[in-house]
Amino acid sequence: MRKLGFIGLGIMGAPMAGHLVKAGHALFVNTRSSVPADLLAAGAQACATAAEVAEKADIIFMMLPDTPDVAKVLFGSNGIASGLSPGKTVVDMSSISPMDTKEFAQQINALGCDYLDAPVSGGEVGAKAASLTIMIGGPDAAFERVKPLFELMGKNITLVGGNGDGQTCKVANQIIVALNIAAVGEALLFASKAGADPAKVRQALMGGFASSRILEVHGERMIKRTFAPGFRIGLHQKDLNLALAGARTLGVALPQTASAAQLMQACAANGMQDLDHSALVRALELMANHAVA
């Protein structure tokens, strides 16, 4: 049994933390809202502050919305840094800025502790099923120490490189996902506007070279209009903004990423920021004055 901490028990964090405590580990938790009752029933112990979590746990996980949230939990009043002692490990599973991640890692390293950035892909479904893809940046020794815990939460677990490289990989993932959602949305909209049954078009395409996980899952959501969030448009917007900010710093043009970001912005401007990112199709539908379904 290991002494673990988990901070951030939202749509993703709660089931991820649940897998850790159900495996028999001592789990100390903190979140902005109340700790889910099922976690407490499973044995998790609620802590008043992030610092208290860091004091009691040897490995502390975070699953937070954005870069400023991570900075506050790490270094703000009663933050993780104030509760650390040498030899502990901080694991950030949020999706945040790769460049800021490198700075966070340096500050945690200066306290005698290891830092891993370990963002995930797979959404709420993957979090609940413990089938997440986990992309890790950080030192080899820390990765090997935490790997058995990653295996409780995910299936495809890769040490990409040093600190920041896990977050860079996640940004790349979000670019690919966004562009695929836009492509599926355009294809189904085209088919529907032309008079074809989009459900049957999707079924046919699933057997060919155009087949993809996005077409399978998000294409079905577009047709059935099931836009309850697995991963919210607002969060994907944040990730694409990270990509575009990084591109400016690197002097790289990402024209298709910029286009997808604008489609998500159109959705947000129409009050859809809390819908699933498959609802990006709604921006296309508004421009076409035609719905897929």
Q: Which residues are catalytic?
A: 170
Any residues with CB less than 8 A from the CB of 128 and at least 6 apart, and which? 15
Residue 273 to residue 275: CA distance in whole angstroms: 6
Strand partners, 157: 134
Contact between 152 and 19 under an 8 Å Cβ cutoff? The reply is yes
For 26, the enclosing helix (H) or strand (E) is strand 26-30
Q: Are 152 and 129 in contact, with CB atoms under 8 Å apart?
A: no
Distance between alpha carbon 286 and the CA centroid of its chain, in Å?
A: 28
Alpha helices in the chain, H assignment, sequence order: 13-22, 37-42, 50-56, 67-75, 80-83, 98-109, 123-129, 140-150, 165-193, 198-205, 213-224, 233-250, 255-269, 281-288
Note whether 216 and 256 are within 8 A (CB): no
Whole-Å CA distances, 278 to 117, 173, 282, 283: 26, 15, 9, 11
Q: What distance in Å separates the CA atoms of residue 187 and residue 184, rounded to the nearest whole number?
A: 5
